[in-house]
Structure formats: C-alpha cells, structure tokens
C-alpha cells in the first residue's frame, strides 16, 4: 500500500510529521483552542495531506471509520440500554446505599467512586463502567458541590488499572500477537494490579481530602438526595462556597451543575413517571444476564447491547411513543459520544494509512542503544505509555510488539515477559482521546477533555509505572 512505499522513501519525514501531528493536536485540546471533534478531524487531515496522502486520504479515513464502527454501535446502544435502566429505577437502590455510606463527606464519595469503578470494571468494558458510575454518582457530586473532574479522574484511573484483566482486551491482544496464553501473562501480574489499585485509592483519598478542604462540611437536610430540586443542602462549616472549579459544561449530560437535574442523569427523581418498580427484578435479570454473556464473549458486544436495548425498550415502554421518548431523552449523549468516536477514526485512519505508526516504531527501535538491549522489557513497559496513548491497542500489540519481542529474544527475554511489561501502560492508555470509553465518561460528566487530562495524565503515568516497577521487583518482568 501507499504507506509502505512512503516508509521506504522517507521514514524521517513520517516520524517528524507523526510527532508534530500529535503535539499540535494535544496543544489545541489542552489549550481549549479546539473541541476534540474538530481537533480529531482537522489536524490529521492537514498532516495527512502534508504527508502526501492526496486523494487517498479518503480511503484512509474510511478504513478508520470501518474499524471503529462496531465501537460506535456499542456506545449507541449501551447508552440507550443503561439510560433506560436509569429511567426505570434499577440503580436507585444503589445510589441510596452509596448516599448512606457517603453521608456528607466528599472524601467518602471520592473513595467510593474508586471502589465502585473497580468493581464494575470486572466486566472488562469501560463504557459500561462509566455509564453505571456516572449515572449513580454524578448527582451526588453535583449536590455535594464536588468537582465532576474528580469523578472522571478517579473512575478513569480505576478502570484503566483494571483494564489488564484477561477479558478486557489488551492482555488477550498481547498474548495473541506473541502466541502465548493470556493466563500466563495476567496471573503473575495480579500483585502488580493490586499495587496499581492501591495507588488509585491513594489518589482518591488525596483528591477527596482536597475537595473536603475546599468545600467544607455539608449537612443533608433531606436524605433523598435523588430528588432533583428539593433535597436542600445546608452549609454548616467553612469552605470555599459554591462549586469552586467544578465544571458546569453540559456535554452529553446536560448542565450537570443545574438544580433541575436535566440530562443523562435526570432519571433519579423518585417521583419520575418513567419508574417501573414492578419490573425491577426483570430489569435486574436482563442486566445481569447481559453482563454475564458479555464476559463469556459468546457474541459480539455491539450485538449484545442491540438485543438488550430492544428487549428493555419493548418490556418497559410497550407503546411506540414511549419508546421514541426514551431514546430521545438520551439523544444528546448519543450524538456527542458517537461523533467523537467517528472523529477519532480520522486520526486513527491517517496514522495507519500514511505509515506514520510504522515509521515511528521503526525509528524508535533504531535509536535504542544496543547496551539497553537486556533492559528491553522495562523499556517496553515505559514506551507502552505514549505508544498506546497515541495509537490503538491493535496497532501497538499487533504492529509494534512482535518487533520488540523479536529483538528482545536475542537478549534472552521471553515473549511472555515482554507481554507482561506491555500491559502495564493501560492506565495511561485509557485516558487517550482515541479511547471511546473515556470520551463517553467526560461527555456524561460534562467535563472538558482538557480539564480531565490536566488532572489525570500524571496520575495515570504514576499508576502505570508503579505496576511496572512492582513487576520488576517481583521478578515477573526482567530488569
């Protein structure tokens, strides 16, 4: 293809363009000079043309869209399904339980967010985790005046660390690419995973303590914090007053900071007409069955959510008008997230189609000094942070990892050891704008991606590096 021809003619040019494209994109997003959708489309198109793609850029983008179309379908119907479950009251008991445990303490709320995200992340799907965590906890964040950025940071870190479970994706990809067993990769890394989760909890405590100091003490005058407008909070201690730096952008969840509670999480009013208390056990059974079949991996995940959404709509809202209204209630979330997924397909398509990914990987291998060869496993663990942030897991594990593993074998490093090192960067990877789940999280929470990145990236790097270091200490990853 065109990419290989270009790779032979000008690796240096492609490498320079690749890194410059990433830098420009991150600058525009972090400085808020462009929305993620605009940045994900305009920047790759401009650099793709500069790389000589010409009219072929259309095919590149189309290939990227085809690769992410199943993900877009997954998010589309996952939002509908879980949106319906929120509307009908499935998660109300969970929110009430969390409210009793949290009481008036932002610290407990933030730590509870981390624990809930870790537990729900056992299903291996980030989108499911973020929908459940956001729908259950975002109203509490708004009423307690805790910044929703804290929610996205803690949930993103917890889910990222848990992403190395064998059914989550990267571990299977690493094992498949290197022809080894996923269990041989994951099981020895369980202690490292535990360490990573402990670091996440420490960050949750730190963020919770910071919010507690900023806000002061709040007293609930009505335990039913679920009520959108009448649950009265009374400030009883010192604090900053107001919501401080809590973002109030609507995103896909409406104005998350407004008192009328409109948006993705407006379905927590205990008097709402969409409640279906008589169908609680049926909805719970459908949800549990969906998650079980999802973990068993017997059908493609988008298909599972399509079927589940159809069943949920039909049983809970038998009238056609009610079904249309149920879908419309969550349309803003659907449009925002799916738009960003297809925009991300532009960056992915140009990266792959122009050969920038191959060129950057080849350049990297060439600049690694021979003296560092025996430490290639650790180097791979470090490189997995930026590499999986700026390219898909498929591109990294099936494109870059085999080359790294082949090189490492000359130094006596086993493929399974390389695979273990490579999955430690997943906490950092999960914060990438190329990961649809994180786009879903910030959209539902109404948090600008730039604000999320400012607080999460260095923390995610520390979580990933702590897992890598502990793997080395235990001897699962050779030094």
For 320-384, give the DSSP string. HHHHHHHHHHTHHHHHHHHHHHHHHHHHHHHHHHTTHHHHHHHHHHHHS-GGGGGGHHHHHHHHH
- Residue 268, class by beta-carbon neighbours within 10 Å (0-12 exposed, 13-18 middle, 19+ buried)? buried
pTM value is 0.66
The pair of three-digit structure tokens given for residue 88, joined into one six-digit string: 């009908």
Nearest residue to 189 via CA among 3, 377, 349, 35: 377
pLDDT per residue of the chain (479 residues) written in tens, 0 to 9: 344 444 455 778 888 888 888 788 778 876 778 877 888 888 889 998 988 888 888 988 898 888 778 877 877 887 788 778 878 888 777 767 776 777 778 888 899 889 888 877 766 667 778 887 887 788 788 878 889 999 999 999 999 998 887 666 687 777 766 777 777 888 888 899 999 999 999 999 999 988 888 876 554 444 444 443 223 223 333 333 333 333 333 333 333 333 333 333 443 567 778 888 899 899 999 988 887 887 676 788 788 889 999 999 999 999 999 998 888 887 877 777 788 778 878 887 887 788 887 777 677 777 777 777 788 889 889 988 888 887 777 767 766 777 777 777 777 888 888 888 988 988 999 898 878 888 888 988 888 888 899 899 999 999 999 999 998 998 888 88
The pair of three-digit structure tokens given for residue 295, joined into one six-digit string: 């973990």
- How many other C-beta atoms lie within 10 A of the C-beta of residue 343? 23
- Residue 148, class by beta-carbon neighbours within 10 Å (0-12 exposed, 13-18 middle, 19+ buried)? buried
How far is Cα 434 from Cα 40, in angstroms, rounded to an integer? Answer: 9
């Amino acid at each position: 293809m065109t990419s290989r021809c270009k790779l032979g003619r000008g690796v240096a040019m492609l490498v320079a363009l690749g890194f410059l494209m990433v830098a420009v994109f991150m600058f525009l997003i972090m400085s808020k000079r462009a929305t993620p959708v605009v940045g994900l489309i305009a920047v790759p198109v401009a650099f793709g043309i500069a790389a000589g793609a010409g009219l072929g850029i259309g095919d590149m983008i189309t290939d990227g869209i085809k690769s992410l179309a199943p993900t877009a379908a997954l998010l589309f119907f996952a939002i509908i399904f879980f949106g319906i479950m929120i509307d009908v009251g499935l998660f109300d008991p969970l929110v009430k339980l969390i409210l009793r445990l949290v009481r008036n303490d932002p610290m407990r709320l933030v730590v509870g967010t981390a624990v809930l995200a870790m537990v729900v992340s056992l299903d291996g799907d980030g989108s499911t985790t973020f929908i459940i965590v956001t729908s259950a906890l975002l109203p509490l964040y708004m009423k307690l005046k805790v910044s929703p950025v804290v929610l996205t940071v803690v949930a993103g870190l917890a889910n990222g660390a848990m992403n190395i479970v064998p059914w989550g994706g990267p571990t299977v990809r690493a094992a498949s690419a290197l022809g080894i067993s996923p269990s041989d990769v994951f099981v020895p890394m369980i202690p490292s995973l535990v360490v990573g989760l402990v670091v996440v909890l420490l960050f949750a405590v730190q963020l919770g303590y910071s919010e507690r100091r900023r806000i002061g003490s709040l007293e609930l005058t009505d335990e039913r914090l679920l009520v959108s407008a009448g649950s009265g909070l009374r400030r009883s201690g010192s604090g900053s007053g107001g919501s401080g730096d809590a973002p109030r952008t609507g995103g896909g969840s409406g104005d998350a900071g407004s008192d009328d509670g409109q948006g993705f999480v407006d379905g927590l009013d205990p008097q709402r007409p969409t409640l279906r208390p008589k169908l609680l056990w049926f909805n719970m059974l459908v949800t549990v069955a969906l998650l079980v079949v999802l973990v068993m991996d017997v059908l493609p995940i988008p298909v599972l959510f399509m079927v589940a959404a159809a069943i949920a709509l039909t049983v809970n809202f038998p009238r056609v008008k009610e079904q249309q209204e149920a879908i419309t209630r969550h349309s803003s979330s659907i449009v925002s997230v799916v738009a960003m997924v297809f925009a991300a397909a532009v960056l992915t398509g140009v990266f792959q189609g122009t050969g920038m990914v191959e060129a950057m990987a080849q350049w990297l291998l060439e600049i690694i000094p021979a003296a560092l060869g025996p430490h290639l496993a650790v180097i791979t663990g470090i490189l997995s942070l930026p590499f999986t942030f700026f390219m898909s897991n498929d591109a990294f594990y099936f494109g870059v990892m085999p080359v790294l593993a082949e090189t490492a074998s000359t130094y006596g490093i086993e493929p399974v050891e390389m695979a273990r090192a490579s999955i430690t960067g997943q906490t950092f990877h999960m914060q990438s704008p190329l990961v649809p789940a994180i786009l879903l999280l910030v959209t539902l929470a109404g948090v600008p991606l730039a604000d999320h990145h400012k607080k999460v990236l260095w923390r995610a790097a520390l979580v990933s590096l702590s897992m890598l270091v502990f793997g080395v200490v235990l001897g699962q990853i050779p030094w």
